Amino acid sequence: MEKRFQILVVDDEEPIRGILQAVLQRAGYAITTAATKTEAETALELKPLDLVLLDLRLGEDDGLEFLEEIHRQHPALPVVLLSGLGDDDVMRREAEKKGAAGILSKGGAFTELYSEIKRVLEKNARSADKSKESGMD
């Protein structure tokens, strides 16, 4: 049986959370949602996750700052930022510098979403395999 990847979707907009939850569940992922940073922090502690989709503008909280917190506490957990601001190279570089595995536009096609999730999960799996191999030497 193939592993069902666990994804946390963090977005303060309920319609966005609902759409992402529905399309990703249909694609075979197990989805947990959070509307706030506090809800996300709880979810991060309660279950092992494979990926976080994090809104860049999370209500009153800054998604980039929260990204840094997640990266410090869960360094192996990939985080893909969701932006409603379009494609901004400066923001993309800043996000990657702070540890983002990727950044997606909320207005993008679902095929982009699926491709990015698959890319990040595969990259993370390869990194985990390399870590296991090097630990056995």
For domain 6-135, the CATH class is alpha beta
In this prediction, residue 1 carries a pLDDT of: 41
CA distance 104 to 86: 8
pLDDT tier, 8 (very low <50, low <70, confident <90, very high otherwise): very high
8 A C-beta contact, residue 66 and residue 37: yes
Q: What is the domain partition of the chain in residue ranges?
A: 6-135
pLDDT tier, 81 (very low <50, low <70, confident <90, very high otherwise): very high
CA distance 112 to 49: 21
CB atoms near residue 26 (< 10 Å): 9
Give the tens place of pLDDT for each residue, 22-65. Answer: 999 999 999 999 999 999 999 999 989 999 999 988 888 889 99
8 A C-beta contact, residue 130 and residue 76: no
> Mean pLDDT score of the chain, rounded to an integer?
87
